[in-house]
C-alpha cells in the first residue's frame, strides 16, 4: 500500500511558492510523486496538491504543521496535510432506492474506495439486507415533518459517535436542515439525478421527460444551504430518445448516478478536491 502524504495549499499567487514547498519536502528527504498547481486567472490565486512518498521522509508528520508554519506564514497559505494511510470514515444516507448504496459498498470492498464505512442511515428499513451482507451497522431513522428535528439529532449523535469524516447522500430523499449542513461544510456529498443547474428540486427525471431533452444527467455536489446549488464535483450524461418512457429514464439514470457519485466520493477521500468559491478544483 502506498504510504504518502498529501499537502493541499491555497494562497495568493506569487513567485517562489513551488520552490519553497519542493525544497521543504526535499530537505526532509521526501520523494515527490505528484505536484499539481492551479492558478486562477482573475483573482490570481494559487492552489496546489503535492503528494510525496513517506518512506525515507525524515520528518515526523505530526511535526509537519509546526515545521511548515514559517513557509505558510511567509506566503499567507492555508494548508491541510492528509495521509494516504488514513482511511476516512464515511456514513452513507439512503432512502428506498439502493443502487448507489450497493455500488458504493461493492467498490469499497474491491478497494476502489479507500475508506471505512462504519455507518448507514436510512429513513426506511428496505436497504438493510445490503448493509447486513457487508456487515455494516444500519440505522433506520424514520423522518416526518414532526420528527425531523429529533431524527436529525439522532443522526448527528451517530455521526459523532462514529467519528464520521464524510456524509454521502446516496439518493437520500430528505432535505437536511440548515443547522445540520452548517456543521459539515464540504463534508456532505449529494447525488442529484439531473444535469444541474437544469431541473433543480424534486422529480428531475419527470421534469426532463416533460421538457423533451435528449440527454439526462446526474450531478454530485457538496451540500450547502441553497438547495441543489452547492459546488459541483462531477457530472455525467446518458443519451435518451423519444422512445424512452419515464421508467427508462429512471433506469438509465441509475447507471449514471452510480458512476458519478462514486467518482466524487473517491476524489473526496483521496483529498483531490479543493473549493474555490462555489466551484471545485479537482486534482485528478
The residues of the shown chain that bind its own copies, judged by CB under 8 A, are 13-23, 25-27, 29-39, 41, 56, 99, 102, 106, 110, 112, 129, 133, 195-199, 211-215, 217, 231-237, 241-243, 245, 251, 254-255, 259, 276, 278-282, 284
- For the question of residue 228 being annotated catalytic, the response is yes
Q: Judged by CB, which is closer to its own copies: 14, or 153? A: 14
Shortest distance (Å) from residue 163 CB to its own copies: 28
**Catalytic, out of 18, 63, 228, 244:** 228
Shortest distance (Å) from residue 11 CB to its own copies: 14
Shortest distance (Å) from residue 256 CB to its own copies: 11
Classify the C-alpha dihedral 218-94-127-116 as positive or negative: positive
Tell me the C-alpha to C-alpha distance, in Å, between residue 181 and each of 36, 176, 245, 246: 30, 7, 35, 32
Q: Judged by CB, which is closer to its own copies: 39, or 85? A: 39
Q: Judged by CB, which is closer to its own copies: 180, or 262? A: 262
Shortest distance (Å) from residue 22 CB to its own copies: 4
Q: Judged by CB, which is closer to its own copies: 146, or 277? A: 277
Which residues are marked as active site? 228
Amino acid at each position: 500500500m502506498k504510504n504518502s502524504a498529501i499537502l493541499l495549499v491555497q494562497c495568493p499567487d506569487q513567485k517562489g511558492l513551488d520552490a519553497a514547498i519542493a525544497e521543504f519536502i526535499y530537505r526532509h528527504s521526501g520523494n515527490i510523486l505528484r505536484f499539481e498547481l492551479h492558478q486562477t486567472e482573475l483573482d490570481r490565486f494559487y492552489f496546489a496538491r503535492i503528494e510525496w512518498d513517506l518512506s525515507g521522509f525524515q520528518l515526523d508528520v505530526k511535526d509537519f504543521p509546526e515545521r511548515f508554519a514559517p513557509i505558510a506564514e511567509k506566503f499567507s497559505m492555508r494548508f491541510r496535510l492528509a495521509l494516504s494511510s488514513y482511511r476516512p470514515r464515511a456514513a452513507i444516507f439512503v432512502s428506498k432506492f439502493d443502487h448507489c448504496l450497493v455500488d458504493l459498498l461493492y467498490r469499497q470492498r474491491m478497494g476502489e474506495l479507500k475508506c471505512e464505512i462504519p455507518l448507514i442511515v436510512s429513513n426506511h428499513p428496505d436497504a438493510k439486507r445490503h448493509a447486513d451482507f457487508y456487515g455494516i451497522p444500519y440505522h433506520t431513522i424514520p423522518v416526518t415533518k414532526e420528527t425531523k428535528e429529533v431524527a436529525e439529532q439522532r443522526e448527528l449523535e451517530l455521526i459523532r459517535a462514529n467519528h464520521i469524516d464524510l456524509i454521502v447522500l446516496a439518493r437520500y430523499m430528505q432535505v437536511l436542515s440548515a443547522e445540520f449542513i452548517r456543521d459539515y461544510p464540504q463534508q456532505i456529498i449529494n447525488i442529484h439525478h439531473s444535469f444541474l443547474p437544469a431541473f433543480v428540486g424534486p422529480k428531475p427525471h419527470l421534469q426532463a421527460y416533460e421538457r423533451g431533452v435528449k440527454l439526462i444527467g446526474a450531478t454530485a455536489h457538496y451540500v450547502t444551504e441553497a438547495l441543489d446549488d452547492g459546488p459541483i464535483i462531477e457530472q455525467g450524461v446518458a443519451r435518451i430518445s423519444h422512445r424512452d418512457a419515464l421508467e427508462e429514464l429512471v433506469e438509465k439514470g441509475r447507471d449514471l448516478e452510480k458512476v458519478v457519485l462514486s467518482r466524487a466520493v473517491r476524489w473526496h477521500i483521496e483529498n483531490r478536491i479543493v473549493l474555490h468559491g462555489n466551484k471545485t478544483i479537482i486534482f485528478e
